[in-house]
């Protein structure tokens, strides 16, 4: 078996991927290193440039794609997202926070070196988290986001099984983070 070199935290938008990953980085003793995705979407007030995402202009994004520096380019809710192409490193576990397409492509690229963990919550919980996170979002945009979430929840259980290694319910945050850390520790150290 190949050692785990990448951790991929995936799941529908609003399920808690970024929140869980932030807490995991504080909790775990394993050498995990976050690799932020490039995006053309505007930064939210609590997000930090270069930590949560690399926020770039459309022109900068196109340049990165043209130079072949992105493993995957995806369009989501009118903005572009690009996973940086990073080679595996022996000294750390490179951690990506990505949607389902991203998880599929990371697995396709690095296969058994990737541990993919998908977070799950009910549609109702995700809806109230998105409403709380994006208080100023207009109604049409929110309903198109929620339709995307519905589709993502459906895909998780169908095509997801081909590239997701573990599903973890994200109800109580501290328990979710502990569970993710347990899975990571077992897989990374075995």
What Å distances lie between residue 53 and 3, 82, 83, 127, 175, CA to CA?
26, 10, 10, 23, 25
Phi and psi at residue 12, to the nearest 5°: -65, 160
Task: Name residues contacting ligand ADP, limited to 22-61 (CB under 6 A).
Answer: none
The 5-24 contact track toward ligand ADP, x by CB under 6 A, reads ------x-xxxxxxx-----
Question: How many residues sit close enough to ligand ADP to count as binding (CB under 6 A)?
Answer: 15
Of 183, 177, 189, which Cα lies nearest the Cα of 27?
Answer: 177
Choose, by CB under 6 A, the member of 129, 131, 179, 187 that binds ligand ADP: 129
Residue 26 Cβ vs ligand ADP, minimum distance, rounded to whole Å: 14
Using rule CB under 6 A, residue 145 touches ligand ADP: no
Residue 165 Cβ vs ligand ADP, minimum distance, rounded to whole Å: 18
Residue nearest to ligand ADP (CB): 16
Residue 1 tokens read as 């078996």
Cβ–Cβ < 8 Å for 118, 4: no
Residue 151 Cβ vs ligand ADP, minimum distance, rounded to whole Å: 15
- CB neighbour class for 48 (10 Å; exposed up to 12, middle 13-18, buried from 19): exposed
Choose, by CB under 6 A, the member of 41, 54, 127, 133 that binds ligand ADP: 133
């Amino acid at each position: 078996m190949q050692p785990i070199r990448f951790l991929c935290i995936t799941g529908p938008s609003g399920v808690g991927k970024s929140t869980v990953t932030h807490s995991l980085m504080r909790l775990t003793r394993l050498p995990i290193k976050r690799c932020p995705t490039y995006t053309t979407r505007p930064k939210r007030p609590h997000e930090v440039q270069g930590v949560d995402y690399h926020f770039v202009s459309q022109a900068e994004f196109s340049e990165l794609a043209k130079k072949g520096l992105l493993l995957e380019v995806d369009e989501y809710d009118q903005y572009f997202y690009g996973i940086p192409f990073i080679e595996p490193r022996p000294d750390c576990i490179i951690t990506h926070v990505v949607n389902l397409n991203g998880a599929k492509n990371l697995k396709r690229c690095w296969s058994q070196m990737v541990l993919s963990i998908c977070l799950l919550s009910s549609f109702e919980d995700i809806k109230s988290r998105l409403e709380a996170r994006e208080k100023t979002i207009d109604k049409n945009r929110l309903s198109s986001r929620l339709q995307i979430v519905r589709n993502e929840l459906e895909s998780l259980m169908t095509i997801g099984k081909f590239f997701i290694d573990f599903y973890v319910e994200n109800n109580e945050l501290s328990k979710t983070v502990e569970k993710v850390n347990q899975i990571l520790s077992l897989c990374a150290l075995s």
